[in-house]
Amino acid sequence: MANVKIDPSWQELLNEEFEKPYFNQLTAFVREAYQTHMVFPPAANIFRAFDSCPADRLKVVIIGQDPYHNVGQANGLCFSVAAGTQFPPSLQNILKEVSDDTGAPYPETGELDRWAEQGVLMLNSVLTVQAHTPTSHAGKGWEEFTDAVVRTIAQRKNHVVYMLWGSYAQRKAAAVDPAENCILTAPHPSPLSAFRGFFGCKHFSRANEYLVSTGQTPIVW
C-alpha cells in the first residue's frame, strides 16, 4: 500500500491503527498481492471510501463485504461501479429500492460518488480482492481494520445512520449505541435475499427522516 494516502481527517483518527503489527502484516500482504496478481480496486482507490467522505462530513455508513471481483467493476466504494459499467445485481436492487422508496429516477450510472460527497461512507469490510476470486483477501487483517473504523466512528460521533444489509454487515455494528444512532437492518440486496425484506425496507427515506430529526441535511439519493 505504498504511495496510498488517506484523507487527513481519517488519518488523524486512525493513525494508531496504522501503527499496529497486524496492519504492517496486512500492508505487506496487499503490496505483494498487487505485485503478483490482478487485484481490485486499483491500488490508488483502496482508501477511496474515506477520501470521498471526510470524517467531518459523515452522516451515513453503508457496509459491504468485499470489492467486486470482475474487471472494471470495483472503484473503492462499496456497491458502486465506475460510470459506463453494467450494474451488478445487488446494485440494481439497491437502486430499485431507492427509486421505489423515494421516487428518485432510476440512475443512468452506478457510480455512487454523489452519495459519498453528501456524507455517506461506503465501506467494504475487506478493501481488496484478487480478480475473479471473491473473499480471497478475507482473514488477512482488513476486517480488524474496518472493525476499528466503525468503533472509532461510534466513539466519536452520534446521530449517524448505519445501513446494515445482511448478517455480515449487521455484526459490524456491535460497538454502535442504538440509543444515540439510527441502525437500519435488512436482508442483503443480492438476488438471493432481496425479496426477503430488502425490497420495501424504505431505508433511504427512513435515513433522511432521522437526519432531519437530528438537525442534519437529508441525502439526495
Residue 122 contacts residue 115 (beta carbons within 8 Å): yes
Domain locations in the chain as residue ranges: 8-213
CA distance 60 to 104: 19
Instruction: Examine the residue annotation and report whether 66 is marked as an active-site residue of this protein.
Output: yes
Query: Given this model, what pLDDT does residue 83 score?
Result: 86
Assigned C-alpha cell, 164: 446494515
Topology of domain 8-213, CATH: Uracil-DNA Glycosylase, subunit E (3.40.470)
> Could you tell me which residues come within 8 angstroms of residue 110 by beta carbon, excluding any fewer than 6 positions away?
80, 81, 82, 83, 85, 87, 88, 91, 95
In this prediction, residue 13 carries a pLDDT of 94
Quote the cell numbers at residue 7.
484523507
- Please list the ranges in the chain whose pLDDT falls under 70: 1-4
Close Cβ partners of 95 (under 8 Å, ≥ 6 residues apart): 87, 106, 107, 110
State the residue for C-alpha cell 469490510. 125
Of the candidates 7, 51, 56, 66, the residue annotated as catalytic is: 66
Length of the chain: 221
- The pLDDT score that the predictor gives to residue 2 is 42
C-alpha cell of residue 93: 436492487
